[in-house]
Chain A
Amino acid sequence: MSQRVGIIGFGQTYHRSRRDDVNGVELINEAVRAALEDAELTIDDIDAVVIGNMDHFEAVNYVDTWSVDGSGAWMKPLIKLTTGGTTGSTLGIAGYHHAASELFDVVLVIGWEKNSESDTTGAIITCSDPIFDRFSFSGALPGLAVEASTYMKRYGITEEDAALVAVRDREHGANNPYAQLRKPVTVEEVMQSPMLSWPVKLLDICPRSDGAAAVIFAGEQKAKKLSPRPAWVLSTSVRHSHSYFSDINYEEIHTMQEAVKELYKNVGIKEPLKELDVVELYQPYSFAGLKWIEAMGLCKPGESPRLLRDKVTHMDGELPFNPSGGVICTNCIGATGLLRIGEAALQVMGRAPGRQVPDVNLALSTGFGGAYWTDLMLLGSRPW
């Protein structure tokens, strides 16, 4: 028992550093209404709801129940999921599983966060082991910076190389009316921005945002009936690894290497740089836009700065990354992975005004979180 599944609607809020005009439930409702409007559906068409965030940011620990009025899940099957940074991609994959199972035909998936409501770093620290990791752990930023320190040493990568990634995404983000940061920056500005956690500077790292995203998945027949051009889910892959941050192998991002291996094999991709049309990478800091695209098999280890300098991953390049501006421009954490899926779906559906890549057949979205975990979802214009 399983059916093919397509994305038929996507809605998002205008993301800001602080949205004092709405509470969490109201923020969720904005995204849900936008997604229903996008799919030309009403809440009565929804069979089940999947919702999630990283609940330690808001300290509201029964989000599924608390947000029913806003999510539209009143008297419907409802489940809450939370997996740290990968929450948004987990939500999308769970929505796909719900519809693929044939137990539910039209599934509404919601990711959201109000990062303004707590100290983001303090809240992230509570993800780590309380006895062995927490006393020295200082949130996402230094955890990433450690990776950068090993990567720079191993391949002679410079801070300027990484700055090229931030410059690209900020340039792209200027085209996205929903992005939080919409002002382009230069390499010099990145280099001169405050050093937060060596070698990561203010403009190398994602902001923290208030925002929500909602994606509607539908089984094959419903998707064909309800949407002129669904974004079909072709394959997903999930790799989660260790419990202790200190167990991570910072030399390689094994989860990405293993996840892409499975996904490429599932759909027969041999040359990802040529075959993929667009990527929405969950790229929380600039160095990931180098090391992780090597792990994706786009070039050999240490060679990614050349792809950036040659603008291969820019809007007009062979494989554009993050037309939305990506995580470096917007990061409402529980929504971030789902925004990648939604933006990838828009690219396939040909509905990304201002940031549309022409003729997208295959769009890859990724999720990242926890102890260097990877989630992937590949969307395509043809179901098979």
Chain B
Amino acid sequence: MSKTILIVDDSATLRASVNFVLTDAGYEVIQAKDGQEGLEKLEECKRSERKMNMIISDINMPVMDGITFIKDVKKGDFRFVPILILTTESENAKKMEGKAAGASGWLVKPFKPEQLLWVVKKFVR
């Protein structure tokens, strides 16, 4: 069965890139445009008893930012799912904040497809 990865980012371009790269590598990708929608997608997965193998999340998003999102995930049924945060180099403080909230790693935007795949493969086994 293919592994499922949730990508949470307000940028359609970023979501599409991640989607293209990961679906091509055989992963199932679910997209959400902010933390709120991310939680909703997780809730849907829970209802349909679908497994989530990894979450990739942006930090700076409208409605619900990445930090709040991660904190909420860490409270729920998917708390063991590894979370990778997407940052930009200017967001060093955010990176640390994300780490404290429970993220397992980070990737700096913009990234190359093989970088993404490399990290994802480390997380999803």
A and B form one complex = no
